[in-house]
């Protein structure tokens, strides 16, 4: 492949947000990680940039810079859908399209051999840009000779740009400001403090020193910019899901018989996956009952598999949770595939007494029985109130814990889902109180002022409680064990 093309749909999540709120076009706009004062700014438009807002700021800090800020949340599924739409459009212009894995909205295309279909590469690039704009997105297209060069130049070259020589592309790429390359905020700030403003300045730094002082991300960027790390294009190859449907001779209500029907439909689909070298990543099925009501369900094993017994167990658990008002007349089954994993990857893995595969299968069974949001873990946040200091995130797979160097046995604090109010008479019966530890603030929503205590209750139970001065009441936040 001698000619590369890069298509950059700048700030794709932001463009998706503005399609929902076109009235925000001229206002400072930001995408935040979550709709909360402590949410982190992830994407901004030019108006917000001129107001001093930068990715990494908290939402409240950004509001302090401009009260006209408009913000919203764009879910990963919305971004994936937008990428899929663009990938499909670009697939009509080049046989090889590779979406960037870490920056949504960036695509590399194989631009070789297309002059037999178009008068020139300029004409082809203009056609690519017109296709993207017809889908409702702004974009820029650069045709050149290297992966990094074309990507970097899309940040500063609007519209269509075609380079005729490698030297011309290299010279232009070295003038691109580093701040335009979607760097991590910490790395961008460090480069700014050092006076490293452009790609050319960055390439003047020794690669070994970059790795030692700034980490692997900066080192990888240096290798890509210097041409030492230029892998070939890895085009996306979509495979439609395998599908089967069946009309039942008699309406069926028993979950066991429905399970046997679904498994019988899955068996040939799994054999076809095996022939393709793929494995089952998700199975979906739709059941139409006598009242013509439809039930759409899905289950996902923790990793792609061809093990029919494991899949059957997940389907059985989901079927047992359904309550059908009439018999099932039609069933349609589809399987979503992914590349099968190689067993060689586990040959040199350190063996432990903890069976992570068994634990992950248990999590998959819980999700199948109780829904996708039934398995969660707490993730620490920067909130100053206890209930704002963490949030729940779905757990997809288990990982081995990291050993702590501390020899002290930690205390476990049991956090109540909702603080329990207790009468003052019960508080007077507590003994050995430790406190107060004052927590106040939250002025942007409603003022909070709490005095926290640790106190021993009857039965030697150590309570974690607080007095809310604004509500003039006592509450138990949790227990300590």
Q: Which CATH architecture has domain 1-27+69-238?
A: 2-Layer Sandwich (3.30)
pLDDT at residue 348 tops 50: no
SS (HEC) of the chain: CCCEEEEECCCHHHHHHHHHCHHHCCCCEEEECCCCCCCEEEEECHHHHHCCCCCCCEHHHHHHHCCCCEEECCCHHHHHHHHHHHHHHHCCCCCCEEECCCCCCEEEEECCCHHHCCCCHHHHHHHHHHHHHHCCCCCEEEEECCHHHHHHHHCCCCEEEECCCHHHHHHHHCCCEHHHCCCCHHHHHHHHHCCCCEHHHHHCCCHHHHHHHHCHHHHHHHHHHHCCCCCCCCCCCCCCCEEEEEEEEEEECCHHHHHHHHHHHHHHHHHHHHHHCEEEEEEEEEEEECCCCEEEEEECCCCCECCHHHHHHHHHHHHHCCCCCCCEEEEEEEEEEEECCCHHHHCCCCCCCCCHHHHHHHHHHHHHHHCHHHCEEEEECCCCCHHHCEEEEECCCCCCCCCCCCCCCCCCEEEEEEEEEECHHHHHCCEEEEEEEEEEECCCCCCEEEEEEEEEECCCEEEEEEEECCCCEEEEEEEEC
With cut-offs at 50, 70 and 90, classify the pLDDT of residue 443: low
With cut-offs at 50, 70 and 90, classify the pLDDT of residue 152: very high
With cut-offs at 50, 70 and 90, classify the pLDDT of residue 14: very high
With cut-offs at 50, 70 and 90, classify the pLDDT of residue 30: very high
On average, the pLDDT of the chain sits at: 84
Q: Identify the CATH assignment for 242-346 out of 3.40.50.920, 3.20.20.10, 3.30.1490.100, 3.40.50.12280.
A: 3.30.1490.100
Percent of the chain with pLDDT over 90: 25
Residue-level pLDDT at 349: 42
Residue-level pLDDT at 28: 93
pLDDT at residue 403 tops 70: no
With cut-offs at 50, 70 and 90, classify the pLDDT of residue 124: very high
Residue-level pLDDT at 411: 67
| More confident position, 347 or 173 | 173
| More confident position, 137 or 102 | 137
Residue-level pLDDT at 405: 55
Average pLDDT over residues 369-395: 79
pLDDT at residue 191 tops 80: yes
With cut-offs at 50, 70 and 90, classify the pLDDT of residue 344: very low
With cut-offs at 50, 70 and 90, classify the pLDDT of residue 346: very low
pLDDT at residue 76 tops 80: yes
Residues 309-322 have pLDDT tens digits of: 889 999 998 898 88
Residues 261-320 have pLDDT tens digits of: 999 999 999 998 888 888 888 899 999 999 989 989 988 887 888 888 889 999 998 898
Residue-level pLDDT at 268: 92
pLDDT at residue 58 tops 60: yes
| More confident position, 341 or 48 | 48
Average pLDDT over residues 26-54: 88
| More confident position, 334 or 416 | 334
Average pLDDT over residues 166-182: 88
Domain boundaries of the chain, sorted by first residue: 1-27+69-238, 242-346, 413-480
1-27+69-238 shares its CATH topology with 242-346: no
With cut-offs at 50, 70 and 90, classify the pLDDT of residue 153: very high
pLDDT at residue 7 tops 90: yes
């Amino acid at each position: 492949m001698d000619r590369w093309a890069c298509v950059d749909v700048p700030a794709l999540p932001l463009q998706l947000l503005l399609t929902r709120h076109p009235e925000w076009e001229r206002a400072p706009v930001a995408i935040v990680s979550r709709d909360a004062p402590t949410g982190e700014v992830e994407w901004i438009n030019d108006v917000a940039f001129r107001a001093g807002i930068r990715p990494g700021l908290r939402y409240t800090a950004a509001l302090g810079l401009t009260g006209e800020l408009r913000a919203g949340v764009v879910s990963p599924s919305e971004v994936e859908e937008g990428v899929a739409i663009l990938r499909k459009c670009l697939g009509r212009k080049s046989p090889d399209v590779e979406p960037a894995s870490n920056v949504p909205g960036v695509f590399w295309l194989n631009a070789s051999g297309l002059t037999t279909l178009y008068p020139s590469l300029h004409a082809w690039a203009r056609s690519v840009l017109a296709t993207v704009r017809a889908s409702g997105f702004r974009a820029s297209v650069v045709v050149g000779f290297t992966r990094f060069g074309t990507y970097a130049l899309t940040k500063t070259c609007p519209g269509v740009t075609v380079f005729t020589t490698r030297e011309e592309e290299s010279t232009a790429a070295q003038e691109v400001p580093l701040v335009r390359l979607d760097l991590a905020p910490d790395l961008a700030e460090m480069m700014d403090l050092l006076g490293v403003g452009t790609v050319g300045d960055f390439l003047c730094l020794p690669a070994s020193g970059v790795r030692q002082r700034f980490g692997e991300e900066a080192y990888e960027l240096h290798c890509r910019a210097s041409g030492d790390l230029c892998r070939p294009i890895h085009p996306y190859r979509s495979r439609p899901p395998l599908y089967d449907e069946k009309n039942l001779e008699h309406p069926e209500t028993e979950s066991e018989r429905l399970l046997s029907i679904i498994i019988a439909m899955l068996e040939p689909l799994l054999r076809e996956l095996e022939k393709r070298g793929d494995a089952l990543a998700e199975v979906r099925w739709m059941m139409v009952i006598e009242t013509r009501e439809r039930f759409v369900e899905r289950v996902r094993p923790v990793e792609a598999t061809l093990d029919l017994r494991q899949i059957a167990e997940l389907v059985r658990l989901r079927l047992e949770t359904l309550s059908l008002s009439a018999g099932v007349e039609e069933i349609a089954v589809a399987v979503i595939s992914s590349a099968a994993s190689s067993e060689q990857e586990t040959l040199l893995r350190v063996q432990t007494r903890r069976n992570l595969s068994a634990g992950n299968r248990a999590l998959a069974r819980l999700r199948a029985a109780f829904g996708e949001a039934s398995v969660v873990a707490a993730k620490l946040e920067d909130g100053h109130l206890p209930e704002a200091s963490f949030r729940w995130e779905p757990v997809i797979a288990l990982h081995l814990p990291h050993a702590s160097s501390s020899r002290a046995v930690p205390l476990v604090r049991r956090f109540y889902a909702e603080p329990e109010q207790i009468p003052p008479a019960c508080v007077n019966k507590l003994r050995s109180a430790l406190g107060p530890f004052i927590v106040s603030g939250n002025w942007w929503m409603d003022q909070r002022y709490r005095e926290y205590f640790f106190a021993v209750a009857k039965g030697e139970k150590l309570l974690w409680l607080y007095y809310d001065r604004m509500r003039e009441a006592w509450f138990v936040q949790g227990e300590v064990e």
